[in-house]
Amino acid sequence: MASVSSQPQFRYTQPPSKVLHLRNLPWECTEEELIELGKPFGKVVNTKCNVGANRNQAFIEFADLNQAIAMISYYASSSEPAQVRGKTVYLQYSNRQEIVNNKTTADVAGNVLLVTIEGQDARLVSIDVLHLVFSAFGFVHKITTFEKTAGFQALVQFSDAETATSAKSALDGRIIPRYLLSENISPCTLRITYSAHTDLSVKFQSHRSRDYTNPYLPVAPSAIDGSGQFSLGLDGKKLEPESNVLLASIENMQYAVTLDVLHMVFSAFGPVQKIAMFDKNGGLQALIQYPDIQTAVLAKDTLEGHCIYDGGFCKLHLSYSRHTDLSIKVNNDRSRDYTIPNPAMVNPQPSTLGQQPVQAMGGPAAHQYNGTPYAPGLQPPTMPPQPSDGWTSTVPAVAQQSMPVQMSNHHPYIPPSSMPQTNPGMMRMPGQGGVPPAAAGGAMPPYRSNQM
DNA sequence: AGCACA
């Protein structure tokens, strides 16, 4: 019954069309190259490249049929085949009369990215992890997440299309760095296109959506627990508004925790601007101010629950402060403003200590993204690659990264008499088995540039 | 090296 009425798919000759079908193009051939190729024969009014499963086919549409005929005729009799980048390109009339929908929204650069998280455990990737990943390229305004047939997706809003583009080109097709995810989560690949959105609508801060431009946006009722505290999202992350200022409380303080100790510990993640220590509820607390939220987030996530000294001594508990800029009246042993050079201080810890990482992160280098998104100071340098490495061996590693000179002069942060023996238990990641050695050592760029 | 799915 099946009448074989369809035309043979490949005929030796096609009826003329002002649209030409090109094949055997080099990988990721550009629109510009197609225009170059067709220009000698007439006006190219439209193109479509990267067509087909291998993305090596394309279409060129001329303004006039005669121009298409001229091109076909020329190469039909030419001894030199049509070429792009030295590769022979095969031409024929297309079986359509015009190129339709040359550009999809996914091709038009915009400030909002549509991110599809692929992988078995894609749904377990928290909005905070996404925020951290995308913040490497610039300020992330808003994120919304949702489930579609395509799977777990997110819209990530940047200030402008340029920033979005830098994030897209660096992250598309890459996996989320393993050390940002729990170790039992299987690899998650990011697929990124542009979204047609320009401004996302976020009504509440929740485990599904965030507006980082408005930290005081109400938290979704569903995300608040009975105690009135910020509750947990599906990922178990707190929905407490992030801040560039951390509140540290120190539990079981058997050893003196000085300003210098705190400065050393927290400088591992970026420049510490100010520290203020005070007593509260019979314990020691401190406010630590970073220049930006993302540094504070990383410091908090990395240090929370860890002990400054081995044996469970001086255990850190971190939360975000509501402060954004501490007011340091006087530099003394309890409070210090590291942004103000103070010649009177014996140990001012010049601000060069932390500024290098910040420049590396905030400057143009961040857009390059040829390595880790977290500048030197933002890697988890305090995390020993192996549990057998302790505080004493870790600190010099930090020093080498950020302050090669200063560290050789004084070690104010190690109380010699109180410094416990180096021990396997110190400063390792609780419950996560620590940062993978490659990540901790900085040897493994989470994303590698694929530009060649 | 053989026709586009937004």
Helices (H), A258-336: 259-267, 293-303
Taking phi over 0 as left and psi of -120 to 50 as alpha, with beta for the rest, A146 belongs to beta
For every residue of A12-50, DSSP letters joined together read: SS----SEEEEESPPTT--HHHHHHHHGGGS-EEEEEEE
Question: CA–CA separation, A443 vs A372, rounded Å?
Answer: 9
Closest CA to A67 of A84, A31, A91: A91
Contact A123, A71 (CB under 8 A): no
pLDDT digits (tens, 9 = 90+) for A65-107: 999 999 999 999 999 999 999 999 999 999 999 998 766 777 7
Hey, what's the torsion of the CAs at A382, A386, A388, A393, to 10 degrees?
A: -40
Question: What is the predicted pLDDT for the residue at A280?
Answer: 86
Is the C-beta atom of A326 closer than 7 angstroms to strand B? no
Helix (H) or strand (E) holding A151: strand A151-158
Tokens representing residue A334 in the block: 């309890």
Query: From residues 130-149 of A, which are strand B contacts by CB within 7 A?
Result: none
Tokens representing residue A219 in the block: 């938290």
CA of A31 to C1' of B3 (A): 18
Q: Which residue is nearest to nucleotide B6 (CA to C1')?
A: A104
Is the C-beta atom of A10 closer than 7 angstroms to strand B? yes
Question: CA–CA separation, A441 vs A384, rounded Å?
Answer: 8
Is the C-beta atom of A103 closer than 7 angstroms to strand B? no
Q: From the alpha carbon of A101, which nucleotide's C1' atom is closest?
A: B6
Tokens representing residue A46 in the block: 């439209």
Q: Which residue is nearest to nucleotide B4 (CA to C1')?
A: A51
Question: What is the predicted pLDDT for the residue at A313?
Answer: 85
Half-sphere exposure of A302 (CA within 13 A, CB side): 29
Is the C-beta atom of A207 closer than 7 angstroms to strand B? no
Is the C-beta atom of A94 closer than 7 angstroms to strand B? yes
pLDDT digits (tens, 9 = 90+) for A117-137: 999 999 999 999 999 999 999
Question: What is the predicted pLDDT for the residue at A327?
Answer: 93
Question: CA–CA separation, A226 vs A230, rounded Å?
Answer: 9
Q: From the alpha carbon of A104, which nucleotide's C1' atom is closest?
A: B6
3-state class (DSSP) for residue A267: helix
Give the per-residue SS3 of A352-386.
Answer: HHHHHHHHHHHCCHHHHCCCCCCCHHHCCCCCCCC
b/e for A63-81, b at 16 or more Cβ within 10 A?
eeeebbbbbbeebeeeeee
Question: CA–CA separation, A385 vs A390, rounded Å?
Answer: 10
CA of A33 to C1' of B2 (A): 21
DSSP A224: B
Sign of CA dihedral A101, A102, A104, A105: negative
CA of A41 to C1' of B2 (A): 23
Q: At what angle do helices A259-267 and A391-402 cross, to 10 degrees?
A: 70
Which nucleotides of strand B lie under 7 Å from a protein CB? Answer: 1-6
Question: What is the predicted pLDDT for the residue at A11?
Answer: 64
Alpha carbon distances (Å) from A171 to A192, A275, A371, A373, A384 = 8, 35, 11, 10, 27
Is the C-beta atom of A50 closer than 7 angstroms to strand B? no
Is the C-beta atom of A101 closer than 7 angstroms to strand B? yes
CA of A11 to C1' of B3 (A): 12
Helix (H) or strand (E) holding A69: helix A65-77
List, for chain A, all residue ranges whose pLDDT scores fall below the cut of 50. 2-6, 226-238, 348-446, 448-452
- Measured in Å, how far apart are chain A's first and last C-alpha atoms? 54
Q: Which residue is nearest to nucleotide B2 (CA to C1')?
A: A10
Q: Which residues pair with A44 in a beta bridge?
A: A62
CA of A71 to C1' of B4 (A): 21
Question: What is the predicted pLDDT for the residue at A356?
Answer: 41
Question: CA–CA separation, A141 vs A160, rounded Å?
Answer: 10
Contact A72, A92 (CB under 8 A): yes
